[in-house]
Structure formats: C-alpha cells, structure tokens
Amino acid sequence: MSSIAESLAKKQKEISVSEFFERNRQILGFDSPTKALIMAVKEAVDNSLDACEESGYLPDIKVRLEKIDQNEFKMTVEDNGPGIMPNMIPNVFGRLLFGSRFHAIRQSRGQQGIGISATVMYGQITTGKPTRVTSKTEKDKPAAVKEIMLNTKTNSPSIVSEDFVMWDEKEHGTKVELFLTGRYVAGKQSVLEYLRQVAIVNPHTSITFIDPDGKTFIYARATDKLPPITKEIRPHPEGVELGTLMNMGRASRTRNLRDFLKTDFSRVSERLAKEICERSGLSETAKTTNLSLDQYKKLLEAMQSVKYLPPQTDCISPIGEALIRKGLKNVLDETKPEFYSPPVSRAAKVYSGNPFQVEVGIVYGGNLPADQQVTLLRFANRVPLLYQQGACVLTKAVENVDWRRYGLEQRGGSGIPFGPAIILVHLASTKVPFTSEAKEAVASIPEIQVEIELALRECGRRLKVHLNKKETKARTRTKFEIVQEILPMIAKKSAKIVGRPIPKLSGSITKIMNVVWVDDSVVFEKKKHKVKIIIYNYTPHSTRFNLHAVVPAGYLDADSMEPKPIEVKEDGKVTWELRPIKSTETMEVRFDLVGLDQELYEENELYASGIDPTLIIGADPLPGDWDVQRLQVTEVAAPEAAVAEEEEDEVDYDESKEALSDD
C-alpha cells in the first residue's frame, strides 16, 4: 500500500507556460470581449512598429476589423516591415516566451515574447480557428503563408497548412489574420482611440483603420524622421541583486574577477574594478566560477559602496519635444486647441540601474469640454495605456500636482483636474515596471513619480503664463475699446454743445488706462519665424524698462534683431534695455528665428523688469532666477515738448469735464 505522500506525488506534474496562461488569460489582458479586441490589435501593431523601426522603414500599418457574427470578428493587421523568415513564423506566433528582446537591455515595445502568441492562443480558444500569417522578405520572392495553432500542452506551434503565394503589392512585409471573440465599441477605451493615441506618440507612422462598419480612418504620417535606433547596454552595477550577480559570474566567459567587472557591467572602469576587488577583499585574478556564496555577498557589498556614472541613455528613445508637438497637432487639430504648451522632456534618470526618461505635454482650450475632467493620455515606450488608470504611477503624479496654481479646477485640492485640457505623460525606459503582464499600468516607483511631477509643474507654469496673458489682455483690451469708442462720442457732443473745438483725448485716455501695453505676434514665412513686439505707452509719463524674451536656443538670427539687445544667453534668454517711450507713443522690437519647425514656436514668452508689474500688460514680471541688471527708474524726465504736450492734454481734459458739467 502506497503512502499518502506517494499518492500525492503521482498527481504532481509540470504544466507549460501556455497552459497556465490559457487558464489565466485575464493576466494578459484578455478578461472581457471589449478589452480582448483592443489587446489583439495592440499586440499586432506593437510588433509591426518594432519590426519596421529596427529595420529602418517608416511604418505603414493597416488594421481591419470584420464582423463575422454577433460576437466573432476577423482581425487583419498588415505592415511594410522586413518580414519574417518562413522557418521562424511558427515559433514567433505559436510559442509563448519566444523572442529576441527579452535579454536585451534597451527600450522596445515588446520584450517578453508573450503578446502576439497569446493573441493567437486567445483566438483559437474562443473560435477554434487557426491564425494565418503571410510574410514576404524580398521584392522578387514569393510570400510564405502559414496557418498556425498553438499546442498549449507543450507550448509549441502546430502548422495547419503552409504555402507560397505571390504578393505583388508588397516588396516586403507581414500580414496577420486571425479570428477571435470580442465586442467593438466606441469611446475612450476602444480600438479607434488606441490607434489615435499610437499616432500621437509615433508621428512617423501612417495608420489606416477600417472598422466593422466599413468606415475608414486615416492618421497620416506627420514626420519622415524615424526615432533613433536604441543600443543595447550591459547591466548597470547599481541595480544588480545577489542571485543575478552569482548567475552572471558563473556564466561569464572572462578569465578573472577584474575582467568580469569590466566587461559584463556598464560604467565599470579599470580603476573601479580594482577598487571593488580591494574593498571586497577578493583577488583581481580570482575566477568567478569558483567564488562561494559568502564571497559573492562581499563582492556585492563592495559594488554597492562605490559611485558610478549613470547608465548610457542611447539605450532609450524618447519622443522629443518637437515630435510630441507634431503628433499632438496632427491628431488633435480637429478640437482646435488655443494653446499647445511647449512639451517638457526631463533629463534621463535611473531607478534600480534602469535608465528612464519622462516627457510631458499639455493642450488647452478650443473645443475641449470645460466642465469635465481633463483627458489624461498615458504612454510607456510609445505604447498607449488605456486601462487601470487609477493604479498607474503616471496618474498618481498628475493627481499630486496642485493644478489650481496653473489655472485648472481641482476639487478638494487633489485628483485629476477639471478643465478644457489634455495632459500627455510618456515614460521611456529599458525596463518599464508594469504592474502585470498585460502592461496596462506602471508601478509606483518613487524616482519615476518625482520626475513626472517635476515635468508636470514645469508644463503647468507655461500654461499659467498663457492664461494670465490671455486674461489680462482681454480685460484691458475691453476697457481700452470702451474708452476709444465712448470718450470721442462724449467729447464730440460736448464740443458741439459749448461751441468749441473737439479736444485732444490722448491725455485723458492715458489717465484712464494708465498701462504699458505689450502686443506681440509670430508669423512663419520663408522658413523663418518673424517676431514683432509692439510696446504702447498708455501712461501719462514717459516710461522705460527692460524687456526679456525666452526663445529656442541656437535659432536666433542676430542680424535681424532690432533694436540690438544688451544680452543674449546660450540658453535662449534675451534682454533689451528699451529707450524711454513717451506718453501715447509706441516702440517696436523685432527678431527672426531661422531653421526651426513651424509648430515649435507659436507664442512668445515675454518678461519685464525695471517697471511696476501692475502697470504692464502682455509681459510677466521677470522671474527671480534670471540674473540681469534691473533698471530701478520707471519714469524719466520727459523732454520739454513732451511736457508741453502733456500740459496741453491736461487743459483739454479739464475743458471736456467743464463742458460735460455744463451739459
């Protein structure tokens, strides 16, 4: 008679990874018909984008959904990538955890080798039909066609049929056709919204989508510039753990400990390798395959006690400020926003040895609803995140910012703000810390959250500058238009009643207005941004102050600047010391920006110093961190002609009052 342990042992058996995910498909994001359809499109499109970019092709992607019956759809995704070798097609689409990017430390959309094969598995589970893959690698060769199913018991592909066909309309590319159960909906969490967001952060991509009703949506390419190809780096010693270190040491091909540290890790120089060996008390010539557990512990302690340079950043590929703006304008122009905040790209940082970079952009106004929460667009490695918004660190960072400071409503002082705005947050990293294999939310890593909040605040300040400028100009312009229209009518009527000439009103207007008005414009023509700034002195006295502008560094045409500034800094800060401007007179400042894309400069950032901030409209007070010599005198002695003119205006003003009194 066998023991209980022996009976239990007979029941124990190994399960394949495919079988595990077959029973737990919700982990991969296939937990509802609506979500399953989006995930299927997402995984296929991600693969197409990665393949095209790595091969140097500008992606042309076509997605089609056809409704077979009430719940069944046929999905077709076609690209112009390099194609897949015929013998590799079964493993790529019919085996989980099969891929080329898992061990590479560099940014990419897919890494685990689960996505597209999991989609194939979901399709066959729900419909019982195989996936058809057509792939062409060279212009003059036929395309390989294979119908595949995934054997979940063995995690291996089964080829249902295979053939070669002519695919004349394609020089190279891949087409995936599969059947799956799903539900097609419109709205914020839909296939169309996913593709729209893909177009925003991948402006080098052309996307055509045909929905189940046969309606075609086209997102045209906004730029012909491919993102830079990311380079693979070695592990950074700052984030290594004991078990990983032991595995690396025992698998290393180097001869000794010193060479192991230098060649198997990044940012470890000859000097640092020797210092680590010295601190650990281990010989530089010790073989890593012979080290004991205690010796590896000492080695790890020594590695963590020295300082390293941050990892290289050519392993990540941020979108960049220029392309973020292009993508937003290309897709969102139908909402006619009044303001695109210059996107903010933070310098690359590190968490647990993994390089990452944060990018943020804000769109405001236009047809965006003012009485709803702002639209939050979350992205990781150029991939939209449509689900689990509340569990994502990108969302938490937005909620932690006090948006009331920047002109948006925030009920209770925290949470997603309300207002006519869209906030875009993108995280680029060699290892995005997703909360699950479905890759729907980013885990709460403090280093990442801090960087996002800093970027959001910087973007918020730019929005606040725009809103302040807009509000004060609108308020003052209304007042000025009233004064310009009503005062002349009163003066004309008063002069007619008393039988006297119509008085000059310039002095009266300046007394009522008592502001310095800064009006500016940006016109793009002949590949130049032509900037004109007009200063109107609507005060009773001659006025002088310093004018400051912030422009993109490196694009300023020095010869076009009139008048010449007293200072031009390398970071794009420009300062003019303006001559005295007489009461009711104007002064112009002009300059050109050359070689800058049109959409990258549409609004001037102007500041003033040496003048009472309450007197000036159209330029903000100079920030305290701008180190310039400020003028202390806001009013200067006016020339005799100006004094006489002001005295004449005083008389006219008094006579006008007398006439009105008599009337």
| Residue 117, pLDDT score | 83
145 and 211 assigned to the same domain: yes
| Residue 644, pLDDT score | 40
Indicate whether 471 belongs to any domain.
no
| Residue 294, pLDDT score | 93
Spatial distance between the Cα atoms of 206 and 45, rounded to a whole number of angstroms: 12
442 and 528 assigned to the same domain: no
* Least confidently predicted of 157-166, 444-453, 482-491: 482-491
CATH number, position 280: 1.10.8.50
pLDDT band at 1 (very low <50, low <70, confident <90, very high): low
Indicate whether 511 belongs to any domain.
yes
86 and 117 assigned to the same domain: yes
| Residue 156, pLDDT score | 82
| Residue 122, pLDDT score | 85
- Percent of the chain at pLDDT above 70? 86
| Residue 656, pLDDT score | 36
The mean per-residue pLDDT over the stretch 53-67 comes to 92
CATH number, position 371: 3.30.230.10
Peptide bond into 563 cis (omega under 30): yes
The pLDDT tens digits for 537-554 are: 888 889 999 999 989 888
Q: How would you classify the pairing of strands 72-79 and 383-384?
A: unpaired
One-letter amino acid of 517: W
**Which of 493, 506, 480, 498 shows the shortest CA–CA distance to 649?**
506
Indicate whether 558 belongs to any domain.
yes
* Least confidently predicted of 84-93, 279-288, 479-488: 479-488
Q: How would you classify the pairing of strands 515-525 and 616-617?
A: parallel
Q: Mean pLDDT across the chain, nearest whole number?
A: 82
The mean per-residue pLDDT over the stretch 252-274 comes to 89
Residue corresponding to tokens 């238009």: 481
166 and 26 assigned to the same domain: yes
pLDDT band at 2 (very low <50, low <70, confident <90, very high): low
* Least confidently predicted of 53-67, 97-111, 201-215: 97-111
| Residue 274, pLDDT score | 92
One-letter amino acid of 263: T
Look at residues 158, 190, 219 and tell me which one is the last residue of a structural domain: 219
Indicate whether 601 belongs to any domain.
yes
Residue 480 has pLDDT above 90, yes or no: no
Residue 112 has pLDDT above 70, yes or no: no
213 and 293 assigned to the same domain: no
| Residue 501, pLDDT score | 85
570 and 460 assigned to the same domain: no
Which DSSP letter does residue 88 get?
Answer: G
The pLDDT tens digits for 200-219 are: 889 899 999 999 999 999 99
349 and 456 assigned to the same domain: yes
94 and 131 assigned to the same domain: yes
The pLDDT tens digits for 303-345 are: 989 888 877 777 888 888 777 877 787 777 677 788 887 788 8
The mean per-residue pLDDT over the stretch 68-83 comes to 92
117 and 261 assigned to the same domain: no
| Residue 114, pLDDT score | 65
196 and 256 assigned to the same domain: no
pLDDT band at 9 (very low <50, low <70, confident <90, very high): low
pLDDT band at 150 (very low <50, low <70, confident <90, very high): confident
CATH number, position 607: 2.60.40.2960
Spatial distance between the Cα atoms of 588 and 465, rounded to a whole number of angstroms: 22
**Which of 176, 228, 221 shows the shortest CA–CA distance to 58?**
221
Q: How would you classify the pairing of strands 546-550 and 605-609?
A: antiparallel
Q: Three-state SS for 178?
A: strand
| Residue 649, pLDDT score | 38
Indicate whether 583 belongs to any domain.
yes
Look at residues 304, 339, 355 and tell me which one is the last residue of a structural domain: 304
165 and 40 assigned to the same domain: yes
Residue 661 has pLDDT above 70, yes or no: no
Residue 19 has pLDDT above 50, yes or no: yes
Residue 126 has pLDDT above 50, yes or no: yes
Residue 4 has pLDDT above 80, yes or no: no
Residue 253 has pLDDT above 60, yes or no: yes
Indicate whether 474 belongs to any domain.
no
The whole domain housing 269 covers 237-304
Q: How would you classify the pairing of strands 60-67 and 339-340?
A: unpaired
| Residue 235, pLDDT score | 81
| Residue 626, pLDDT score | 58
Residue 631 has pLDDT above 50, yes or no: no
Indicate whether 368 belongs to any domain.
yes
Residue 556 has pLDDT above 80, yes or no: yes
CATH number, position 111: 3.30.565.10
Spatial distance between the Cα atoms of 29 and 385, rounded to a whole number of angstroms: 12
Q: Which residue has the higher pLDDT, 657 or 270?
A: 270
One-letter amino acid of 646: E
pLDDT band at 222 (very low <50, low <70, confident <90, very high): confident
Domain count, the chain: 4
Residue 170 has pLDDT above 80, yes or no: yes
Residue 15 CB partners (closer than 8 Å, separation 6+): none
Q: pTM value?
A: 0.72
169 and 41 assigned to the same domain: yes
Indicate whether 48 belongs to any domain.
yes
CA distances from residue 27 to 30, 195, 440, 611 in whole angstroms, order as listed: 7, 22, 11, 62
Look at residues 153, 185, 219 and tell me which one is the last residue of a structural domain: 219
Q: How many helices (H) and strands (E) does the chain have?
A: 15, 25
